[in-house]
């Protein structure tokens, strides 16, 4: 029997000091037929805000009305559309507006950052990543090493958890920096690991890397909109993130990048350039040579994709309305409750939560490893029979993400109950 009081979850929802913003979102129907889904897959693809369609339609209407005149239309002219996203994005990552730009997709931005910030020399040419990094990041750094003529198996250094442990210890990253630092040109780690949900100690690792003469960049894909970030104050060299996970901006949404102020006027930094890299004031003089700008805009290439950017703007407004400190407080309570509920669900099952127990070392995600289970099969049954969306990672891990904007305590209760029922019944 699943022995956790449903009424308690409902009570927690009624009394939570930070109200849910669930009504601002379109919650998918439960495939099982019972009402709304319990959507704990927002770390994979966040849900659609109700306003998104309205804001997107406004741009479609402007296109219909103005045609090419849309570039300079009175309301949100397209030529400078990205500027409207800069301040709210900067607030989310703890950056100055000049350090922030919304552009491209995440892996593209990782490459553009590495064009400027991976400058290998004969002695210092390696890139440090976490062994369990998202594959795109691994492919990106390996291809950068190859691009510069190095053997990626030698040039890419991977920090691993200890034998029998699931997450990387900060002290092991620091040890590696101490031992191998002289050969490392770039550290590029995931701020929150997509698989384990571990939140890295960004300020400590950044400080140690920089003290060892290494450029330090962070992939914020699973951190932005999830945990509080201080990219500027933590002296991070650069960062990049996507907008379709906790940022709810839609599949393949336009991503972002951060470049620390100290690099913005550095003329020695090589960048790949396009017509949106140049000074906006002189752009349409159409000169063959670039007029440099000293903001993160200098890393842009192309004119902004308006239909892909409108949903980002809609989403960032919601974060401004709620604010990350309040959202994080709600997130800590939700994830704490989910941890307790999963403990009840897994009482008789050989399973463990591989996400750190310390709430300061994780965001809104718990990854459960179920020994011997087919995670995909369990996750599919939870969705089809109980209306609970989670995310399976082969072979045996299921990720639960109670995104604090729209998930409720009752969603967490439903998720734990569904897991319990599926694991204790044949199917
Ligand atoms: C989601 C994710 C990506 C995806 O990159 P795209 O280029 O936006 O498809 C890359 N890296 C990490 C760490 C991610 O979590």
Residue range 233-251: mean pLDDT, rounded: 98
Q: What percent of the chain has pLDDT over 70?
A: 100
**75 has pLDDT over 80:** yes
pLDDT 10s digits, 331-342: 999 999 999 999
pLDDT confidence band for 201 (50 / 70 / 90): very high
Matching fold, domains 6-50+323-423 and 82-303: no
**291 has pLDDT over 80:** yes
Two structure tokens written together for 96: 């100055």
Residue range 352-372: mean pLDDT, rounded: 97
Angle at 70 between CA 295 and CA 98, to 5 degrees: 10
**117 has pLDDT over 80:** yes
Evaluate: CB of 62 within 6 angstroms of ligand 1: no
Q: For residue 135, say whether it is annotated as part of any ligand binding site.
A: yes
- Cα dist. 97→82, 126, 189, 217, 297 in Å? 12, 31, 23, 18, 10
What is the domain class of 82-303 according to CATH? alpha beta
pLDDT of residue 93: 98
- Ligand 1 centre distance from Cα of residue 106 (Å): 6
**Greatest mean pLDDT range, 108-112, 286-290, 371-375:** 108-112
Evaluate: CB of 222 within 6 angstroms of ligand 1: yes
pLDDT confidence band for 210 (50 / 70 / 90): very high
Q: What percent of the chain has pLDDT over 90?
A: 96
pLDDT of residue 18: 87
Q: Residue 292, preceding bond cis, omega within 30 degrees?
A: no
pLDDT of residue 19: 83
Q: Give the pTM.
A: 0.97
Please state the domain extents for the chain: 6-50+323-423, 82-303
Evaluate: CB of 137 within 6 angstroms of ligand 1: yes
CB 258 within 8 A of CB 231: yes
pLDDT 10s digits, 13-38: 999 988 889 999 999 999 988 899 99
**427 has pLDDT over 80:** no
Q: Share the mean pLDDT of the chain.
A: 97
pLDDT of residue 45: 98
What is the domain class of 6-50+323-423 according to CATH? alpha beta
pLDDT of residue 32: 86
pLDDT of residue 348: 87
**Which of 221, 225, 250 to probe ligand 1 with, by most ligand atoms within 8 A of CB?**
221
- Ligand 1 centre distance from Cα of residue 210 (Å): 25
**246 has pLDDT over 80:** yes
DSSP one-letter string for 103-137: -S-HHHHHHHHHHHH----SSS-EEEEETT--HHH
Evaluate: CB of 105 within 6 angstroms of ligand 1: yes
pLDDT 10s digits, 315-336: 999 999 999 999 999 999 999 9
The span from the CA of 123 to the CA of 185, in Å, is: 9
pLDDT 10s digits, 407-420: 999 999 999 999 99
Q: Dihedral sign, CA of 363, 369, 370, 374?
A: positive
Residue of the nearest CA to atom 4 in ligand 1? 106
**194 has pLDDT over 90:** yes
- Ligand 1 centre distance from Cα of residue 293 (Å): 28
């Amino acid at each position: 029997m699943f022995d956790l009081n449903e009424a308690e979850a409902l009570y927690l929802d009624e009394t939570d000091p930070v109200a849910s913003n669930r009504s601002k979102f379109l919650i998918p129907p439960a495939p099982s037929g019972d009402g709304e889904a319990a959507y704990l897959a927002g770390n994979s693809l966040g849900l659609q805000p109700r306003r998104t369609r309205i804001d997107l339609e406004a741009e479609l209407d402007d296109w219909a009305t103005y045609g090419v005149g849309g570039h300079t239309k009175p309301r949100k002219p397209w030529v400078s559309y990205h500027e409207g996203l800069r301040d709210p994005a900067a607030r989310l990552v703890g950056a100055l507006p000049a350090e922030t730009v919304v552009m491209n997709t995440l892996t593209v931005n990782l490459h553009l950052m590495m064009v400027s910030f991976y400058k290998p020399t004969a002695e210092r040419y390696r890139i440090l990543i976490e062994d369990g990094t998202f594959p795109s990041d691994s492919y990106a750094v390996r291809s950068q090493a190859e691009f510069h003529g190095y053997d990626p198996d030698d040039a890419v250094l991977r920090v691993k958890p200890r034998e029998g442990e699931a997450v990387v210890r900060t002290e092991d990253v620091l040890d590696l920096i101490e031992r191998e630092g002289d050969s490392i040109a770039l550290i590029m780690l995931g701020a929150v690991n997509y698989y384990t949900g571990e939140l890295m100690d960004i300020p400590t690792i950044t400080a140690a890397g920089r003290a060892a003469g290494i450029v330090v960049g962070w992939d914020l894909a699973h951190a932005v909109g999830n945990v509080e970030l201080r990219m500027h104050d933590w002296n991070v060299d650069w960062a990049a993130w996507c907008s379709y996970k906790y940022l709810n901006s839609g599949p393949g949404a336009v991503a972002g990048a951060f470049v620390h102020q100290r690099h913005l006027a550095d003329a020695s930094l090589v960048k790949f350039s396009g017509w949106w890299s140049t000074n906006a004031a002189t752009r349409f003089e159409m000169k063959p040579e670039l007029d440099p700008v000293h903001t993160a805009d200098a890393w842009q290439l192309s004119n902004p994709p308006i239909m892909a950017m409108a949903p980002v703007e809609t989403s960032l407004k919601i974060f401004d309305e709620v604010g990350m400190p309040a959202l994080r407080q709600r997130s800590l309570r939700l994830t704490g409750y989910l941890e307790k509920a999963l403990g009840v669900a897994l009482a008789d099952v050989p399973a463990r939560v591989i996400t750190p127990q310390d709430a300061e070392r994780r965001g809104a995600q718990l990854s459960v490893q179920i020994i011997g289970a087919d995670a995909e099969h369990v996750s599919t049954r939870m969705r089809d029979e109980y209306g609970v969306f989670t995310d399976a990672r082969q072979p045996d891990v299921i990720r639960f993400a109670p995104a604090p904007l729209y998930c409720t305590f009752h969603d967490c209760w439903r998720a734990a109950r569904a897991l319990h029922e599926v694991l204790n019944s044949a199917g």
